[in-house]
């Protein structure tokens, strides 16, 4: 996970929090969080990077719509990241 950008980490976290989301559902969640538009040219290449790294899988809902799911490795990476963050962030914040 250390080699991911912050945006890629956010994509992974959102994909983990939704049930097999399609790209536009992930995009909508991140636009709400970032409070600005995310262009397809940024979204899909970064999702493809996560697929290439084995952190998410891409499947087809239909001929036009892909769905994404986090792999076991992706879930392990998220868990490791959260444990690493816990070392530095006080729970009382």
pLDDT tens sequence across 23-57: 999 999 999 999 999 999 999 999 999 999 999 99
CATH of 6-86, one of 1.10.10.10, 3.30.2350.10, 3.90.1150.10, 3.40.50.2300: 1.10.10.10
Domain ranges of the chain: 6-86
The rounded distance, in Å, linking the Cα atoms of 45 and 30 is 15
pLDDT tens sequence across 66-88: 999 999 999 999 999 999 999 99
Question: What single-letter DSSP state applies at residue 89?
Answer: S
Q: Are 37 and 52 in contact (CB under 8 A)?
A: no
The rounded distance, in Å, linking the Cα atoms of 15 and 29 is 10
| Sign of the torsion formed by the C-alpha atoms of 57, 61, 62 and 65 | negative
Spell out the residues 6+ positions from residue 88 whose beta carbon is closer than 8 angstroms to its own. none
The pTM for the full model equals 0.90
């Amino acid at each position: 996970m250390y080699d991911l950008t912050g945006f890629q980490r956010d994509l992974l976290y959102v994909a983990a929090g939704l049930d097999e989301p399609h790209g536009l559902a992930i995009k909508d969640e991140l636009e709400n969080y970032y409070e600005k538009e995310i262009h397809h040219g940024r979204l899909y290449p970064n999702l493809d990077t996560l697929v290439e790294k084995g952190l998410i899988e891409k499947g087809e809902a239909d001929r036009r719509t892909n769905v994404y799911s986090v792999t076991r490795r992706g879930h392990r990476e998220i868990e490791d990241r959260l444990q690493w963050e816990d070392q530095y962030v006080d729970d009382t914040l």
